[in-house]
Structure formats: structure tokens, C-alpha cells
Amino acid sequence: MKDSAAQDQSTWRFSSTFWWANIMELCERAAYYGFFVVLTLYLSDIVGFSDISAGIIAGVFFAGIYFLPPFVGAIADSYPKNKVMLFANSLKFMAVLYVLVGGNAFVAYGLAGIGACVYSPAKYGILKEIKGQAFLVKANALMEGSTIVAILMGVVLGGYLADVAVENDSFSYIFAIVAGIYLLATLSNLLIPKLKPECDKPIQARILLKQFFSDFKVLWADFSARVAVMGTSLFFGVGATLRIWLIAWVPAALHIDDNETPALLSAMVAVGIVIGSGLAARITLSQAYRVLSAGIGMGMGTLALSLMDSLYLAYGCLIFIGICGGLFLVPLNALLQNRGHALIGGGHAVAIQNFVENSVMLLMLCLYLGLMKIGFSAVSVGFAFGALVMLLMLALRVYSRGRG
């Protein structure tokens, strides 16, 4: 058995375990994003929630993101990761069923948010255990491609199903479909063989917070891990802000006033990320620092996009931004998983990564909203944001040059 595992890690071929993990990821992400698209429309059209209530729901979700990393990283490394993902998927499945039977949407949103927080460290941490270091970048490229395709499927399917539900004045069968997709993810999860925990130490709740910050110091002290965390955090900060900015930029620059165009433009970024992830599969861990230049391309693309007034040029520019993003993200994710696995455990490392990424996302979104609030136009904010991203990515490239 050991020889078989060693052989699998020394060849370019991926095991059935990896492909079942990919199928699980495809179903889980599609169901997750579809659920939130449908739930948002359900809350506004059927339940009649106000903006304040929607803000409270978002607050519950972000509270989970901020307060759970000290716990979920330890859980992901102290138990077999396939079981952790099964537990996370079960929580999200329960959230959909809870809404289906008429349960409180706040509770459902919270359950799904907790499931998402638990799932992430186990999902990315499992790649190192399945495939090993040699092909970690390729494994990340395929997993990232599956994630983006699933997100597109989830958003498109969720939007279509939500429109159908509004027309028929019934959301029950829509939530049943989402629950069915989660069930497929769970069944795929059961086909992943049991893996050994990375850490044999039992979880002690009273010291988890202290351990989290101790692990943070260890990870941050490592140059490679530090660069990877800073890079991926910038990527997700740019992505989150770009999605929000497009909603304001489309009517201001393209003079198109609908909800479909910003969604299509966001989809072009996702298409680019899939292409970039495929290209990144050829990059080895030792070459990971070289992709930092692609981050500069993300800033250049955003800056150029802010000055455009053509929809088709915008499509092309956003695909370019996505390609740069895919090239940038995949090797850095693999680098962090490799270093994290060696230093503190893969689950702990991804939990810390999630904490920093969400902090940067909130910081960038606050900066964007602040500039819009004081009267800057969407075009001006986009130009300034693109220039800021270029400078930050350039600074990160210069900082890492001695090790690139």
C-alpha cells in the first residue's frame, strides 16, 4: 500500500482519491454559491427582509470567518481531513434543509458560514497529503479550475432557478435541487479513503486561541510562507473589490443600467482564472516567486479597464486580469500549503491564510466605499485602485526578488 502511495506521488498521474476530491469540490462550490444566490432573492422577495436585516445576516457570516480560524485549523489537522470535509458538507446540507422546512434564514446562513469556514482548511490541506510536494502546483491548478467552474455554474444555475422560483411563487423545489447537489458532494466525500491526521495532539479548547497566534508567528517568520500569504491576500482583496466596483462602473462608463452586465463581466474574470490556472500547472514550487509579476498585470489591467468605454474591450481586459490572477494565485497557494505542512500543519496554515485574506478584503472594501462616499466617481476610484494594486504588487515583487 505504501509502495502504491509512493508511486502515485512520484508520477504525473492523479489518483482516484484526487479526482473524487475534485468532483466533491465541483458539487460543493456549485451548491454553495447557488444556495446564496437563491437565498438572497428568497429573503428579499418572499420573506421581505430589509437592508438592515440583510446586513445583520452578512455580519453573522463574517463573524464566523473572523472567530472560527483558531478552531477550524486545529480541527482540520487533528482529524482526518476527509471526515472534516464530510462534517462541513453535512452542516451546509442541513442549512439548506432547514430553509426548505421553513426554518429561520439567520440560522441557515450561520450554519452554511460555519460549514464554509471548516471546509476550507481541510480542502486545501488535503492536497499535500494526496499528491505530495512534487505535483502540488498541478493539483492546485486543477482544484482551482474546478472551483471557478463550480462558482460559475452555481451563480448561473442559482440565478436561473431563482427567476423560475419567483415566476412560480415557490422556492421549495429550488432548495430541494440545491440540497440534492450537496448530497452528491457528500457521496463523493465518502469515496475519499480515510487519511491520517497531520497532528496527533488532542484539541484543547482553552489554548486554541493562544496556539493560533503562536502558529501565526511561526508561519509569518518563514519568508516563503509570508510572501505567499501576502500575495494571496492581495489577490482576494482585489477580487472582492473588483466585483463590487463593477456594479458602479458599468452604468458610469458603459452607460448600461442592468444587473446582468456586471455579472457577465465578473464571469469573464472567472474564465481568465481558469485559463491562468491551466498555465500555472507548468510552474514548479521552486519557480513560485516568478508569478508575482503577474500580480502587477492585475493592477495594470484594472487601471486600463477604468478608462474603457467599450463592453467588448472590457470583456477582453477582464479575461486578461483573470489570466494574471490564475497564474498568480495557484503557485502561491501551493507554496503556502507546502511550507505550512512542514511548519505548523496544512489546516492551521490555510486557517491563518483565510484570516489574513478576509482582513485584507475588508480593508480594501472599506477603502473603496470610503472613496465612493466622499464623492469620487467610479472611474476615478477604479483608476486609483488599479494604480494602488500595481504599486503593492510591485513592492511585493521587489521584496521577494532576493529569493525569486
DSSP code, position 383:
H
pLDDT score recorded for residue 390: 93
pLDDT score recorded for residue 7: 38
Asked if residue 143 lies in contact with residue 286, where contact means CB atoms within 8 angstroms, the answer is no
Mean pLDDT confidence for 21-34: 80
Is the domain spanning 215-403 CATH 1.20.1250.20? The answer is yes
N-term to C-term CA, the chain: 38
For residue 21, pLDDT beyond 50: yes
Mean pLDDT confidence for 256-268: 76
For residue 301, pLDDT beyond 70: yes
Domain boundaries in the chain? Answer: 2-203, 215-403
For residue 309, pLDDT beyond 70: yes
Q: Which residue has the higher pLDDT, 43 or 383?
A: 383
Q: Give the sign of the dihedral formed by CA 196, CA 197, CA 200, CA 205.
A: negative
Q: Would you identify the CATH topology of the domain 2-203?
A: Growth Hormone; Chain: A; (1.20.1250)
Asked if residue 311 lies in contact with residue 352, where contact means CB atoms within 8 angstroms, the answer is no
Mean pLDDT confidence for 187-195: 79
Asked if residue 88 lies in contact with residue 116, where contact means CB atoms within 8 angstroms, the answer is yes
pLDDT score recorded for residue 51: 45
For the stretch 360-388, pLDDT in tens is 888 888 888 888 888 888 899 899 999 99
Q: Which residue has the higher pLDDT, 51 or 74?
A: 74
Long-range contacts of 93-102 (CB under 8 A, 24+ apart): 93/179, 93/182, 93/183, 93/186, 95/35, 96/31, 96/35, 96/175, 96/178, 96/179, 96/182, 97/179, 99/39, 99/42, 99/175, 100/172, 100/175, 100/176, 100/179
pLDDT score recorded for residue 313: 94
pLDDT score recorded for residue 58: 55
For the stretch 159-168, pLDDT in tens is 677 777 777 7
Asked if residue 350 lies in contact with residue 124, where contact means CB atoms within 8 angstroms, the answer is yes
pLDDT above 90 coverage of the chain, percent: 12
Between the ranges 7-16, 151-160, 243-252, where is the mean pLDDT highest?
A: 243-252
Q: Which residue has the higher pLDDT, 391 or 3?
A: 391
Same fold, 2-203 and 215-403: yes
